[in-house]
Amino acid sequence: MDFDEIKKIVDLMSENGLAEFEMEREGTRLTLRKAVSAPVAAPVAAPVAAPVAAPVAAPAAAPAAIPAAAEPAGPALSEVKAPFVGTFYRAPAPDAEPFVVTGQEVGPETVLCIVEAMKVMNEIKAEMRGIIREILVENALAVQYGQPLFRIEPI
Residue 91 near residue 97 (C-beta atoms within 8 A): yes
Q: pLDDT tens-digit profile of 106-131? A: 999 999 999 999 989 999 999 999 99
Residue 63 has a pLDDT of 45
pLDDT for res 56: 45
Do 30 and 97 sit in the same domain of this protein?
no
Both 55 and 80 in a single domain? no
Q: What is the mean pLDDT of residues 59-78?
A: 53
Q: Are residues 58 and 80 in the same domain?
A: no
Domain that holds residue 40: 3-67
Distances in whole angstroms, Cα of residue 50 to Cα of each of 45, 58, 135:
10, 13, 35
How far apart CA 102 and CA 89 sit, in angstroms, is: 15
Q: What is the DSSP letter of 98?
A: P
Q: Which residue spans within 26-85 are E strands per DSSP?
A: 28-33, 78-81
Tell me, yes or no, whether 112 and 53 share the same domain: no
Same domain, 93 and 149: yes
For the chain, percent of residues with pLDDT exceeding 70: 73
DSSP state letter for 44: S
Question: 3-state DSSP: the chain helix, strand, coil percent, rounded to 5?
Answer: 30, 30, 40
Q: Specify whether 63 is located in the same domain as 20.
A: yes
Claim to verify: residue 143 and residue 88 sit in the same structural domain: yes
Indicate yes or no: pTM above 0.85.
Answer: no
Q: Which residues of 118-136 are buried (b: 16+ CB within 10 A; e: fewer)?
A: eeeeeebebeeebebbebb
User: CATH code at 100?
Assistant: 2.40.50.100
Residues 83 and 133 in one domain: yes
Count how many domains the chain has.
2
Residues 108, 143 within the same domain: yes
Identify which has the larger pLDDT, 10 or 116: 116
Query: Residues 149, 80: one domain?
Result: yes
Q: Which amino acid is at 136?
A: L
Q: What's the confidence (pLDDT) of residue 14?
A: 76
